[in-house]
Amino acid sequence: DTAVQDSCARTRSLCMNRPIASSLLLAVAVAVNHDCPHQANGCGGTAEERAEEARRRARLVSLDAPWNEVREAVVDACGLQVQQSTSHCFQDFNHVDCCTMDSTRQHETNEASRVAGMHAVNYLGSHIVDASISERGPGGSWCTCQISSPEDVCHRQFGARTAFKLVWCRGTGFAALLDDYANVLSHGKPTSARGEPPAMGGARAREQSWRVLDESKNASWASRWRAACDEVQYGAKAEAAEAEEHDEL
């Protein structure tokens, strides 16, 4: 996938488009998470305590602020340190899922899960261990790729539910943090003095990010994301219009 390859190139190959030593491959897990995300209890790789803490903090993030502050707050809410290895997190069209996975799943690769559009290995374990804030609960965190959602890296490779996802509603500058069931945790419109957010792609990245969700092969999940964005973008206007119409009657 050209878009994914371009994104990885811009983010220092954190999608791991490079070979891994055979001795390391023997040590990492290659589980197939068939039931995640489609079964209620199928995502056994979720670090539940860590996910709940991430959602709690996401609810406190104000998205109506300068983008650089918003992004760092979102990275922190996810349970990740703001450092060089996470500089791409929530900064392009693709790395927008806050995935909190059990410690037994941190070193799983894409070899068996075969997420479409991703590198065949996609080993992230060492980055997860290095960047995760341990005080946020057992397990680790990472800003995983949303490509092929909901058959994506978090759900398929790690067998975990996303704690939250950064969504650029309908490709506009309006952002929302949604949990794995598309419940709205926070929403707003980030500002920027240096071009449009996010930094890696601006308006084009927002449009591309929304397209991944809007054109998902899973119609029910796509419908959830659209409904959530309609709620936060147009809900108040729709309610006001309805009230006005009733007044006229």
pLDDT in tens, 3-17: 444 444 444 444 444
Question: Cis bond leading into 37, ω under 30°?
Answer: yes
50, burial (CB in 10 Å: exposed 0-12, middle 13-18, buried 19+): buried
pLDDT at 236 (0 to 100) = 52
Quickly list H helices, the chain: 2-10, 22-25, 48-59, 67-77, 125-131, 202-214, 219-248
pLDDT band at 194 (very low <50, low <70, confident <90, very high): confident
Single-letter amino acid code for the residue at 245 = E
Residues 57/76, Cβ–Cβ less than 8 Å: yes
Kindly state the average pLDDT of the residues 177-200: 95
Of residues 152, 208, 157, 217, the one with CA closest to residue 180: 152
Kindly state the average pLDDT of the residues 82-98: 98
Higher pLDDT, 66 or 238: 66
Kindly state the average pLDDT of the residues 96-118: 95
pLDDT at 240 (0 to 100) = 44
